[in-house]
Amino acid sequence: MPSSVFRSGETLAGVLHGVRTALPRLELRMLVQHVMQLSHVQLLTQSERTLTDEEAARLNELVARRIAGEPVAYLIGEREFFGLPFCVNASVLIPRPETELLVELAMQRLPQGGRVLDMGTGSGAIAVAIAHTRPDASVAALDISEEALAVARKNAERNRCSVRFRQSDWFSALQTDERFDLIVSNPPYIVAGDTHLSEGDLRFEPIDALTDHADGLSALRTLCRHAGDYLQANGWLLMEHGYNQSAAVRQLLTAAGFEEVQSWQDLAGIERVSGGRKR
């Protein structure tokens, strides 16, 4: 990518309407907004504003990185989830729309004043979305990565909600007498060696948050095996999983003694979340 694709002194109108990159126009607009710190409305109303030397250099850098495959969310440091803004960086997965199903199912099953635990919270998207929507709830979130927890804490503060974060290798940091009405998780579930890991945005996301480096079910097995020890009677375990894993996850839930075991489809018609209720 030549360094002079965009030049100092160019107007925003010229930047956005000249076809000089392979980027979709929406992505270019997002990068321009980020570099120039403009809202969408400001971008439209300040079309004659010109790029400074620094802005042109920064925009050229980000465009080149995007063309090389780096996710837009990492380039601008933000992604929307459940209608809320979330900070993201290479320490956390980029929140995806299909995970909103997990949040919706969780809130349907969370009693007034209930306690919910998010396992492997990453950016905190699930925990923060629940805490923001249900301020009556007590929300806790665990992750093994301190770098991820730093991002999650920032997101809770940014969205003005209360979440208790702890570093933990799955259930290890919990007290034996802790109980929750609901446990939710979007664990690593991609099978080791899956070609998707070397494609698209996944190439840049934290590998340990994507795959268990095995059959894709080891984290889901751990959740099914131990969640019952920390759930109240009639509490629910809800887990996101891969597009072809629903039957296997239902078997794990049934074997662990959960009732009302079922799977739910995302907007694409894929069984994306499975769960069950503790007896």
Tell me the binding residues for S-adenosyl-L-methionine.
Answer: 120-124, 143, 170, 186
Number of H helices, E strands in the chain: 11, 9
Beta pairing partners, 276: 237
Binding-site residue positions:
120-124, 143, 170, 186-189
Q: Which of 213, 259, 198 is nearest to 233 (CA)?
A: 259
Residues 98/267, Cβ–Cβ less than 8 Å:
yes
Binding-site residue positions for substrate:
186-189
Q: Cite the beta strand spans of the chain per DSSP E.
A: 78-81, 84-87, 115-119, 138-143, 164-167, 180-185, 231-240, 259-265, 271-277
Report how far apart, in Å, the C-alpha atoms of 199 and of each of 68, 71, 74, 223 are.
Answer: 12, 11, 16, 28
**For residue 17, what are its two tokens?**
């309407």
8-state DSSP, 261: E
Residues 242/186, Cβ–Cβ less than 8 Å:
no
Q: Residue 54 is inside which H or E element, if any?
A: helix 53-67
